[in-house]
Structure 1
Amino acid sequence: MSGMPNYARVSDLPIAAQLYAQVASGEKPEKAQVFFDAAVLNKYREAGGYRIIRTNTSGRISKPGGWSLDFGISGEGDSILHIPVESLVHRIPEAEKSHWLAHLITLPVSANFLKGLIRPGCLDDGDIRTW
């Protein structure tokens, strides 16, 4: 993936605002979206035995007699795929998850904040100050 993808505020996309209101209320937290570099599909194109189909903004990968996964398509040049968290957990086979995780993308994050989520405790992150 080259460069930083364009992004939009959820509040500017009515359907996304509706979805994330349900996520935030606890009604459908499993519907929160995770994002992948579309190159994640290259492995399956090269391996054969998989079917990858699409419309303008949605797609599906399937292994006949095996598993399937529906995804959204976005980003400049269709460079980003997105799926709900529940699909990451329940639709992608365990043997394939490391491949998908290697293509997972995110907006810039605070590494120290994530460390604190994974291993709660005191982190030396500079002086406390107002903002």
Structure 2
Amino acid sequence: MEEIQKAIGTTKEVELGNGEIVEVKKLPLGNYAKLLMTLKNMPTDILKDLQGMEGNSDEGAIQLIFEVFGKSWEQIIEVIAIGSGITKKRLNEDNNIGLDGGIALFLAIYEVNNLEQVIGQVKNVMNRPKE
């Protein structure tokens, strides 16, 4: 597990259009709960696509990101806000962030927090039969 942490890292820097550097950090457990609730509210097909994002070619990953942003805009903004600490208002209105910055922030959050594994775990919980 330690080797995985070293490979993933616990922070990643994203440069916005105005040169501002946003440091995306591994989330504390309290924020993970918020993030998981946001992911739970995403359409199931989006969760499935996100889980398989690592295996896509660059072109496939780009297409997937645009699809995710298009279908689940509010949830994506929420994920970026939770993961970056940037307010939803700023994410929606600051042209220095823009779509390219939003995608860069989302990918940094996805990578630093190992969301592929987290999404897989959420899917498993959602697919469990109710007792």
TM-score, normalised with respect to structure 1: 0.28
Structure with greater strand percent: 1
TM-score, normalised with respect to structure 2: 0.28
Question: Taking CA–CA contacts closer than 8 Å with sequence separation of 6 or more, which of the two structures ends up with the larger relative contact order?
Answer: 2
The structure that has the greater radius of gyration is: 1
Structure with greater helix percent: 2
